[in-house]
Structure 1
Amino acid sequence: MNEPAWHTSTYTDGRGGNCVEVAEGPMTRIRDTKNRDLGHLDVPAEEWTAVVTALRG
């Protein structure tokens, strides 16, 4: 299995402290950059889109 393409979320605070990374696809993966070894959350892409839309609201 290939490693997903992780990138820093555009909603990260930009100060190097509270960073979230996402890997988008049919299942969006979300993880804390400070605790990558603790795993990630898998969220269906439609739900991730709903979260991003709500944050932009």
Structure 2
Amino acid sequence: MTMDTWRKSSYSGPENPNCVECRADNDRVLVRDTGNREHGHLSFSPAEWRVFLAEVRQGTL
């Protein structure tokens, strides 16, 4: 994953107020709440991010 700007989730929209954004930065994946950007972000290694996405896709989270 290579990104130089924040990207909003494709699931974000008027019907879903639970929006997140992510970006890759210096070998980390950063994730933040679109509605509360001032609260900072979470940071994951690429491996951690892949495991998280796989579990979300499998429905285990």
Q: Report the TM-score when normalising by structure 1.
A: 0.76
| Deviation (angstroms), 1:48 | 0.5
Match of 1:19 in 2: 19
Aligned CA-pair RMSD: 1.7
Name the counterpart of 1:53: 54
The whole-number CA distance in structure 2 between the counterparts of 1:38 and 1:50 is: 24
1:21 counterpart letter in structure 2: E
Pairs aligned (count): 53
Partner of 1:36: 37
TM-score (ref. length: structure 2): 0.72
- Where does structure 1 differ by over 3 angstroms across 4 or more consecutive aligned residues? none
Whole-angstrom CA distance in 1 between matches of 2:12 and 2:38: 21
Residue segments in structure 2 that go unaligned for 5+ positions in a row: none
Q: Structure 2: which amino acid aligns with 1:5?
A: T
**CA distance, structure 1, for counterparts of residue 12 and residue 35 of structure 2:** 14
Where structure 1 has 5 or more consecutive residues not aligned to the other structure, the ranges are none
Q: How far off is 1:9 after superposition?
A: 2.3
